[in-house]
Structure 1
């Protein structure tokens, strides 16, 4: 039997928008090597994440975890706030 709670993906990123109610937009930076040319590339992906208590602000460093679909575009949940913005 597979433990489903441990197989969920987690990401660490910075909150770039908190204008929606109970939703934040988290920008996650990803670094990877190009498969053919080997050059290191950076990718920025924005995820909409559920923030039930509305505790996150712009600039906060947060950990988000994958969850069931909560709306049309929201499939992530804020697991914890790692660092508050200054």
Structure 2
């Protein structure tokens, strides 16, 4: 089964080898037919502590590394 890959902005890098990434998605509401924005924060593993707040990163699903970390940073994201 392929691993999920998502792109988002780092909102916190205070933990050791951990970054918190905010993923924002948009979808059309089934009843109201309006575009709705929803966001969710994921804890991701950053082995080298190289990403800071505001960086755009790509995260990928992985085996559990701790209580909250089920994602790992695989690279930098691109705008657009």
| CA shift for structure 1 position 82 | 2.8
Moved over 4 A (4+): none
Structure 1 alignment gaps of length 5 or more: none
The answer to whether structure 1 residue 12 and structure 2 residue 14 are counterparts is no
Aligned to 2:57: 62
The answer to whether structure 1 residue 25 and structure 2 residue 25 are counterparts is no
TM-score (norm 2): 0.91
Structure 2 alignment gaps of length 5 or more: none
Rg (Cα) greater in structure = 1
> Quick check: 2:8–2:77 contact (8 Å CA) kept in 1?
no
Counterpart-to-counterpart distance in 2, 1:38 and 1:69? 37
TM-score (norm 1): 0.85
Counterpart-to-counterpart distance in 2, 1:36 and 1:43? 16
Q: What do residues 31-82 of structure 1 show as CA deviations (whole Å, max 9, x unaligned)?
A: 0111222211000110000000000011000000000111111110000023
Say what the alpha-carbon RMSD is for the aligned residues.
1.1
